[in-house]
Amino acid sequence: MKPYLALMKIDLKLALRLRMVIIFNYLFPLMFFFIYLAFMRVRQEPHRIYQVLAMVITMGVLGNGLFGAGMRAIQERETNILRRYKVTPITPAPLMVASMVTSWLIFMPYIIFVFVVSHYKYAMPWPSHLLEILVFISVGMVAFRGIGMVIASVANSMQEGQILVQICYVPMIFFSGATVPADVFPATMQFISNFIPATYLVRGIQNMLWQNQGLYAQRGLVGILLLAGILGATVAIKLFRWEKDEKIRTSAKLWVVAVLLPFLIFGIVKYQQQRKTTGQSNPGASKAEIKQVIRESSRS
């Protein structure tokens, strides 16, 4: 336990000493939060605050997991910092756990801050299950840090890591409904969104905010996110490399797919359920509906 606590303590101290951590964990997300508030005209249409919260929280969790966990681990390997740890009796587990706990401690004040601002400045009523929402967001953080850690394990360089992170980040941002509401997606995009991990985070947050649902109602989503997080951490520990000279086989990059497998399976199940309910695949939004949303967006 001693190494876990010591690593958490030092990780937290180091994070707070780095300007980049402050910029990427607080400054940028808050900037997006206020831009979205203005862009979505939340003052005029208060119900849109839920959509803004779901968007900025998802973006924050994705950034924290993919860039925070993934890129930082690659950087520490590339700069020979992990090599110094390699000669000590510790295993990769305390390093990963400490990084996860620290990022949670750093990220949570931002989440609480956006809720406080939404309540006091934008008259959002306190959600009935605020604590459960925070637990759900924490589960999301575990899942995306797991994916980030797997990316760090399979990337052989910073450049490769950047590419892999972007390959995961960009579709997740666009197809999950984090930036554009998923309801307006055409059928193909809605079908794809079922397989995007971030979709589950967005859906969960929206269900809990809009429909005042509790954590139990999200048990399926919690299960799949937790499974992805556990799978990610397990694979990351298995593939953990301490030194930049220890290159990984190209085929090992397929482990990223293994971590995304629960989402693939869940996506198929969800699609089948939709087919059964509607008698066909979800038709998605019509062209007219999409045009309407675009018109509204451009007006705002």
Binder to other proteins among 28, 32, 83, 171 (CB under 8 A)? 83
**What number of CA atoms fall less than 13 Å from residue 258's CA on the CB side?**
17
Question: Closer CB to other proteins, residue 246 or residue 296?
Answer: 246
For other proteins (CB under 8 A), the number of binding residues is: 23
Binder to other proteins among 12, 22, 30, 90 (CB under 8 A)? 90
DSSP character at residue 124: P
Binder to other proteins among 27, 81, 170, 265 (CB under 8 A)? 81
Backbone angles phi, psi at 284, to 5 degrees: 75, -170
> From CA 53, how far away is CA 34, in angstroms rounded?
11
- Write each residue from 6 to 25 as x if it is in contact with other proteins (CB under 8 A), else as -, in one continuous string: xx--x--xx--xx-------
CB of 50 to other proteins, least distance (A): 38
Question: Closer CB to other proteins, residue 14 or residue 27?
Answer: 14
Q: Which of 67, 94, 68 is nearest to 82 (CA)?
A: 94
Q: What is the DSSP string of 156-221?
A: SSHHHHHHHHHHHHHHHHHHSSSSS-GGGSBHHHHHHHTT-HHHHHHHHHHHHHHS---TGGGHHH
CB of 178 to other proteins, least distance (A): 32
Backbone angles phi, psi at 157, to 5 degrees: -155, 170
Which residues 273-292 are close enough to bind other proteins by CB under 8 A?
none
**Segment interacting with other proteins (CB under 8 A) among 36-44, 74-82, 158-166, 260-268:** 74-82
CB of 164 to other proteins, least distance (A): 23
CB of 242 to other proteins, least distance (A): 8
Binder to other proteins among 27, 91, 258, 261 (CB under 8 A)? 91
Q: Which two tokens stand for residue 9?
A: 């303590």
Check: CB of residue 98 under 8 Å from CB of residue 4: yes
Can residue 88 be called a binding residue for other proteins (CB under 8 A)?
Answer: yes
> From CA 109, how far away is CA 131, in angstroms rounded?
13
Interface residues with other proteins (CB under 8 A) are 2-3, 5-7, 10, 13-14, 17-18, 76, 79-81, 83-91
